[in-house]
């Protein structure tokens, strides 16, 4: 069976589920990432991020307030929204955030132009999760959606939620059975020998840029 690679990035943290998800994924010798909201960073959640970083997980900017960037009035507002989490994580943890996921994955020309100028690669939504962010989406629905849409090179957009963590109990062993390995998005680019990551686009699957 040929080796396949994917990246899971969990949005809207940090919160206490970081520990649980890191432990579940690390048990397979795998890694993933967390797209964080800057205003959620405090002394307690800082420890959650440190735990993730120490286990080799990637931290990604998901904005300071998780606002729709298309509704902001200026380039500077977009810059402040997306760079503020990067500055805060660097200050608290001496960790360099190098990628981002747009809040709501919403964008217009100004947003994409600004993100390209910031040289922040954008991670998209490369698999179906059946609106996994909704409280009405059960772990069973998440499991079915994810396992029916996985593919080599995909970047998954998931969330730091209880139902998602429960779904991982089934998803992770099935991924292993099917020959997948979970890696960070940064590792995914290295594995595919992509040195110049395209800017100003949402990258849903690494194979789209090969």
Contact (Cβ atoms closer than 8 angstroms) between residue 201 and residue 112: yes
Dihedral pair phi/psi, residue 37, rounded to 5°: -95, 120
**3-state SS assignment for residue 197:** coil
Phi/psi of residue 6, nearest 5 degrees: -140, 165
CA–CA separation, 128 vs 149, rounded Å? 6
Pairing of strands 58-61, 33-36: parallel
Give the number of other Cβ atoms within 10 Å of residue 57's Cβ. 23
| Domains and their CATH numbers in the chain | 4-209 (3.20.20.370)
Residue pLDDT, tens place only, 154-169: 999 999 999 999 999 9
User: What are 24-59's pLDDT values in tens digits?
Assistant: 999 999 999 999 999 999 999 999 999 999 999 999
- The tens digit of pLDDT for each residue in 82-137 reads 999 999 999 999 999 999 999 999 999 999 999 999 999 999 999 999 999 999 99
The Cα–Cα gap between 127 and 1 comes to 22
Cis peptide before 14 (omega within 30 of 0): yes
């Amino acid at each position: 069976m040929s080796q396949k690679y994917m990246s899971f990035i969990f949005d809207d943290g940090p919160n206490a589920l970081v520990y649980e998800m890191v432990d579940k994924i690390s048990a397979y010798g795998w890694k993933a990432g967390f797209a964080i909201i800057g205003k959620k960073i405090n002394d307690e959640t800082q420890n959650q991020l440190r735990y993730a970083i120490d286990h080799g997980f990637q931290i990604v900017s998901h904005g300071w307030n998780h606002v729709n960037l298309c509704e902001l009035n200026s380039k500077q507002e977009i810059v402040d929204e997306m760079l503020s989490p990067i500055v805060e994580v660097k200050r608290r943890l001496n960790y360099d955030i190098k990628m981002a996921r747009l809040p709501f994955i919403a964008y217009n020309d100004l947003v994409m132009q600004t993100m390209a100028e910031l040289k922040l690669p954008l991670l998209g939504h490369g698999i179906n999760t059946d609106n996994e962010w909704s409280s009405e989406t059960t772990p069973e629905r998440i499991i079915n959606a994810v396992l029916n849409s996985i593919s080599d090179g995909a970047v998954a957009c998931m969330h730091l939620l209880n139902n998602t963590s429960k779904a991982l109990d089934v998803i992770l062993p099935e991924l292993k059975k099917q020959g997948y390995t979970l890696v960070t998005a940064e590792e995914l680019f290295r594995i595919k020998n992509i040195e110049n990551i395209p800017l100003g686009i949402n990258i849903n699957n690494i194979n789209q840029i090969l």
